[in-house]
Amino acid sequence: MKINEITSTAARATREGFGAGLLELGRQNPNVVGLTADLMESLQMQHFQKEFPERFYQCGISEANMMGIAAGLATGGKIPYTGTFANFSTGRVYDQIRQSIAYSHKNVKICASHAGVTLGEDGATHQILEDIGMMRMLPGMVVINPCDFNQTKAATIAIAEHHGPVYLRFGRPSWPIFTAENQKFKIGKALHLVSGEDVTIFATGHLVWTSIEAAKELAAEGISCEVINIHTIKPLDEEAILDSVSKTHAVVVAEEHQRNGGLGDAIANLLVHRLPVPMEYVGVNDSFGESGKPAELLEKYGLGKKDVAWAVKDVLDRKK
């Protein structure tokens, strides 16, 4: 697809996509159950709760207990979807996830909202930026970070078919919708959005749209960017990455996460062994967030379209 053919049709939060997907999935699969730690409406789980009250568990502000309950439900043949903020879904309960879910490969779907700095005004204590790294290091854990409402809805439905633990990450703010409605989501299969010759931009989550916007501006300057949506960070689509990089020989990775431990490190680990090329990260540089408007925080922490454009020009200079 050409870069100018990608447009936004509307704007809705990715957490709303999760809520819509969970409701639809509940109608399809009677084994799906929902759990939340006092954040039902924040994660848009109230629609599922209203239609399936007997399959919904309000655990209160007790996230570690929620993970233990989910592990027990999975042992009994249910498919539990846990819901709370990304910070509480990972940092607060890492031991429970590691010991009770990942170690025994329980079929639990850890659904994490309000990730990254776009959580906004709630500040650094809630804006987790290291969760992808924490989850991708757990053996057997699938890690998914969709880019818009439609893709989040599709991913929510698709992960029920995968047997094993999944970390599904999404966000709070209204965000442009640009992927297809009623799409089929394939775990571990990157989405090739734009073809280009000069540099490959691998992006995930909210920064997929940011990368598209940057690529449009760069195209006006004569720079041809290939843009690939890496919605599944683990397992990584190594074939798609290597195919693109073998053509462009220059890489930018964009993510709303610490530079350490996220998608950038996953791709760097692949390329250093298979195809070393100039590479630049667009991510938070070893810093906690702060309270503020989401758009302003994205700019302050180097996650805006100008930062993607700068990174592209930097790797192209090094490529020469």
Q: Does 240 share its domain with 112?
A: no
Q: Please, which residues have CB within 8 angstroms of residue 250's CB and are 6 or more apart in sequence?
A: 198, 199, 200, 277, 278, 279, 315, 316, 318, 319
| Count of structural domains, the chain | 2
How far is the CA of 234 from the CAs of 35, 67, 85, 165, 166, in angstroms? Answer: 24, 21, 20, 12, 10
> What pLDDT is attached to residue 293?
96
Q: Does 159 share its domain with 219?
A: no
Q: Does 79 share its domain with 140?
A: yes
CB of 93 closer than 8 Å to CB of 138: no
Asked whether residue 4 is domain-assigned, the answer is: no
Burial 139-160 (b: 16+ CB within 10 A, else e): eebbbbbbbbbbbbbbbbbbbb
> What pLDDT is attached to residue 289?
96
For the record, the structure tokens of 201 come out as: 């931009």
Q: Does 28 share its domain with 148?
A: yes
Residues, the chain, total?
320
Q: Does 209 share its domain with 289?
A: yes
Q: Does 313 share its domain with 229?
A: yes
- Beta-bridged to residue 175, according to DSSP, are 12
For residue 309, the domain's CATH number is: 3.40.50.920
CA dist 314 and 278 (Å) reads 9
Q: What is the set of active-site residues?
A: 63
Half-sphere exposure of 253 (CA within 13 A, CB side): 27
Asked whether residue 5 is domain-assigned, the answer is: no
> What pLDDT is attached to residue 4?
85
Instruction: Give the domain extent around 244.
Output: 186-319
- Which of 152, 177, 202 is the last residue in one of the domains? 177
Longest dimension (CA), the chain: 62
> What pLDDT is attached to residue 126?
95
CA dist 104 and 71 (Å) reads 9
For residue 49, the domain's CATH number is: 3.40.50.970
CB of 203 closer than 8 Å to CB of 194: no
For the record, the structure tokens of 61 come out as: 């502000």
> What pLDDT is attached to residue 16?
98
pLDDT 10s digit of each residue in the chain, 320 long? 788 889 998 999 999 999 999 999 999 999 999 999 999 999 999 999 999 999 999 999 999 999 999 999 999 999 999 999 999 999 999 999 999 999 999 999 999 999 999 999 999 999 999 999 999 999 999 999 999 999 999 999 999 999 999 999 999 999 999 999 999 999 999 999 999 999 999 999 999 999 999 999 999 999 999 999 999 999 999 999 999 999 999 999 999 999 999 999 999 999 999 999 999 999 999 999 999 999 999 999 999 999 999 999 999 999 98
Task: Give the angle 268-274-276 at the CA atoms, nearest 5°.
Answer: 55
CA dist 87 and 102 (Å) reads 18
Query: Strand ranges (DSSP E) for the chain?
Result: 10-13, 32-36, 56-58, 79-85, 109-113, 142-144, 166-169, 174-177, 191-194, 199-203, 225-229, 232-234, 251-258, 279-284
> What pLDDT is attached to residue 305?
97
- Beta-bridged to residue 280, according to DSSP, are 252
Closest CA to 130 of 140, 115, 113: 115
